[in-house]
Homo-oligomer: A and B are copies of this chain.
């Protein structure tokens, strides 16, 4: 059969690079033969999930032969109540990653521009390129998203999407509600703000109020971080009903499985657990700041469940990350200048931090300039 022609991909897919947004730790293990001892590179929650989640999964394990409710009604109803919004303001999907793909598909024509920060979440870029959009990348400024430059670029480029993670990944920085409101005021009318709030449970109390009637933005939330359900794939978007309605035309209606739905519902019901995780993470961030001091590097202020250690330059960051990997510590480096000076480490449990400390300090000392 080898002489047969392959039917052609679309022009776009034919020319897309064979890239993945993130190489998983399992892939790195298979490539290098190293076994991960401290999995602190993907901002998963080492604090796990609520016991209610395990109970819900166990109760429903016999129910996996049926499709999940395509309206995801129980979860959407609980989320609506939790947030004080309507069910018509909610889209649930397989994590923020899937939502980003749906958003790009729904709002960005091929050739149109999406604005993001240089080095921000690569999965957004993956979808923009995957649907034929153009990316305009705005450099970080003092380790923060440069809101003024982002909105100026959106204006100059006639952008249709502006992506902003707040709290930010990978810097951990946070913009106040006042700054976000100003950004929204200056946003062009034809540009949607895609506000990725995956890490909001770890952020300060000053938060942009929820206004489900505001058609200028979609706010993305996930059960993958503070709720500890990264492996279950549940995220949601909050937005004005006319925005939300568009997703029903293109989403994968049966995509969120039975256990994902019940696990998220159980996690949502245990807000005490989430608050406990947030408090434990805040402790851990202070612990990481202390380690940074001992290692004579800077820990960037973080409103998330990770800390970016600025080690001075990209070469050293690579050397530190390599040394950590050799010891079975999975972390990530910043993807683009100047973030590539940073090593990003997820906040671990106390015993993980105790195991990390000597390895991290050794790597910092050995690579000190």
Contacts and interface: CB of A to CB of B under 8 A. Distances in A.
A250 B66 contact: no
A276 interface: no
Nearest to A258: B231
A65 B231 contact: yes
A263 B106 contact: no
Interface string A57-94: 11001111111111101000000000000000000001
B67 A57 contact: no
A268 interface: no
A33 interface: no
Interface string A258-288: 1110010000000000000000000000000
A165 interface: no
Contacts of A54: 61-62
Nearest to A10: B109
A42 B19 CA distance: 37
Interface residues of A, number: 92
A242 interface: yes
Given A1-B214, A8-B190, 9 more contacts: A4-B214, A4-B215, A5-B189, A8-B160, A39-B66, A44-B67, A49-B65, A97-B252, A232-B259
7 contacts: A8-B107, A16-B250, A18-B248, A26-B70, A54-B62, A64-B230, A98-B255
Interface of A: 1-2, 4-11, 13, 16-22, 24, 26-27, 30, 39, 42, 44-49, 53-54, 57-58, 61-71, 73, 94-95, 97-98, 101, 105-109, 130, 160, 189-192, 211, 213-216, 224, 228-233, 240, 242-243, 245-246, 248-250, 252-260, 263
